Chain A
Amino acid sequence: MTTQTREDISAELLTFIRESFLAGDPEGELEVDTPLLELGILNSLNTALLIAHIGERFGVQVPLNDVTAATFKSVRPLSEMVHEGLSRT
């Protein structure tokens, strides 16, 4: 399996969030540090969809202890978590 850098993972997550929760974000405003919980981009429903996507796309099961406000704060800690998950497998 090809190695995925943090940048690859971030890009992938940004695309998913833009298309799924931001009507495509044609203005290109979503960035890796955009606060996802604070701006209501991730509510409990969207968070569940995102976790499911991470499982399908990367084969990473989000560890229970990582389902925290800190991990889901923005794309940056999220990609970090996925990256760690991939390196464990």
Chain B
Amino acid sequence: MSDRRGLHDLLAASAARTPHAPAVVGPTGSMSYRELDERADALAGLLSGQGIGKGDRVLIWSPKSANAIAAMQAVLRLGAIYVPVDPLTPPERFAAIARESGALALCAPGDLSARIPSPLRDRLACVDLDAAPASDAVPRTPVNTSVEPDDLAYILYTSGSTGTPKGVCISHRNALSFIDWAVAEFAPGPQDRFANHSAFSFDLSVLDLYAAFAVGAAVCPIPTEFAYAPERLVEFLHRERISVWYSVPSVLILMLRDGGLLDRPAPETLRALLFAGEPFPIGYVRTVATWCDARLLNLYGPTETNVCTFHEVRPADLARDLPVPIGRPCSGDRAWARRPDGSEAGPGEEGELVVSGPTVFAGYWGRQPQEGPYATGDRVKVRPDGSFDYLGRRDDMVKIRGHRIELGDVLAALYSHPGVAEAAVVAVGEGLDRSLAAFVIRDEGSSFGNVALRRHLADRLAPHMIPGDIRFVDQLPLNERGKVDLAALPTPLHVAQKVRG
């Protein structure tokens, strides 16, 4: 069908069909489809009153809440573009994103907007999500601006290699192509309950929210602080009778290692476990496959391509001693492995994964539009059946528990400290124990310590980007290629700790 839908039409259509069905459920606040629909119109009215219209960028800086979800819908209904920012983002990084995106408005709870430096706050039209209007306080006028498929829906900021966050621009067509595929593949229905583990600033949350809205299902946002408490995640899975769970593998590993996931039988409601963002070690996949009967699906795709390949775990995969393959193209995309000479790699060969198709992003905000296929930077091996195994990165981007981090971003923050003479950052450890270690040579006469340097970093980096282990050294161990010599580094602190313990 010729696609005139906007991403916001998914919720609007379900609200018209099943107004009383639960749309958002759980400890962060619950709303029926009608309530969410009305709240979205009310917030759209407020934003429109502030002069926000088609193509404008609106920051959403909020912990998970039904109001924050309504705000995203409100922005889309105006034909505007939302920019979700993690609530843990420090004010300076938030300001950089606000500047980069040229945002005109901000939706945030009062305590967060109070943290914004005043020149910036004065420039932004602010909508307080705590004081969101009762539906009758603002004249309720349905808002639904029509959009073109290539109009942008949202911008997700990711770590940039030079220390400036990079805005990945996603159009309505990009997001809808991915959601259409997900709905066709998992065939969710109104009775489904989607857990939403990932923050709204990460692309995993797009599936949780919009696949649910597309079919009139409920989405159950998991409060951010549960990330520190695997037992609470397990309890949430049972109490909310989750049927579709989507997270990075690290979270599932944490739940089964420290959260007692295996102590209770899987909830009968659970029918699909989706994971993405990093390789899932096969030993853990075997454990999960024994524990539950749910479909297990490995989804793959950088933020720039949404989900562009996937693989459903089969018994044959469990017999291999390799991570689950990333599989074959989906969402209407084409993906192939490109050899260094530009030719397409065949079965048994390796190359960089390249993707073209409807889910490939529009470009980075403020830069040239993306044209042609997108080179992911991920190295893959072509399997005999044409699907792909993931091998690793070809650059300095690392993944820590599914968070993507450019080491250059962390280095730039370290070097912005006036007392840092030289610094190196590496990712150490595997799987759940993977973390960043920084080695720093201080200027002569500088006497700042670990905590002081962390304060400097915390003003500039999201918490997950701050190295877990920071060491002051007299010289950096380099190998003959001038790269940090991993073998010559001191033992990471947490490893030493484990050995001692």
Contact = CB atoms under 8 A, between A and B. Distances in A.
A30 interface: yes
B413 to A, nearest CB: 11
Contacts of B229: 64, 67-68
Interface stretch (B271-279, B285-293, B346-354, B449-457): B449-457
B451 A40 contact: no
Interface string B450-490: 11101101100101111111111000000000000000000
Contact of B447 (A27, A52, A53, A64): A27
Interface in B74-118: 88, 90
B228 A47 contact: yes
Contacts of B469: 21, 23
Contact of A34 (B451, B463, B470): B451
Contacts of A64: 229, 231-232, 235
A34 B435 CA distance: 21
Interface residues of A, number: 32
A41 interface: yes
Contact of B463 (A28, A43, A45, A53): A43
A21 B468 contact: yes
- Chain A CB within 10 Å, residue with most, of B228, B231, B463: B228
Given A40-B458, A46-B494, A27 B228 contact: no
Contacts of B432: 45
Interface in A42-89: 42-49, 52-53, 64, 67-69, 72
Given A52-B501, A64-B231, A69-B228, A45 B435 contact: yes
B343 interface: no
A1 interface: no
A40 B463 contact: yes
A29 B463 contact: no
Contact of A37 (B463, B493, B501): B463
Given A52-B501, A68-B225, A25 B463 contact: no
B493 A25 contact: no
B401 interface: yes
Given A40-B468, A67-B232, A45 B454 contact: no
A8 interface: no
Contacts of B498: 49
A40 B454 contact: yes
A29 B466 contact: no
B148 interface: no
A27 B448 contact: yes
A53 B468 CA distance: 18
A43 B468 contact: yes
Given A40-B468, A43-B435, A27 B232 contact: no
A40 B494 contact: no
Contacts of A68: 225, 228-229
Contacts of B470: 22-23
B227 A44 contact: yes
B494 A44 contact: no
Contacts of A53: 501
Nearest to A22: B450
Interface in B231-281: 231-232, 235, 254, 258
Interface of A: 20-23, 25-30, 34-35, 37-49, 52-53, 64, 67-69, 72
Interface of B: 88, 90, 224-225, 227-229, 231-232, 235, 254, 258, 401, 432-433, 435, 447-452, 454-455, 457-458, 461, 463-472, 493-494, 497-498, 501
5 contacts: A22-B451, A27-B447, A39-B454, A40-B465, A64-B235
Given A27-B447, A45-B435, 4 more contacts: A21-B468, A21-B493, A25-B451, A41-B451
7 nearest CB pairs, A to B:
A27-B449, A40-B466, A29-B451, A67-B229, A39-B454, A69-B225, A29-B449
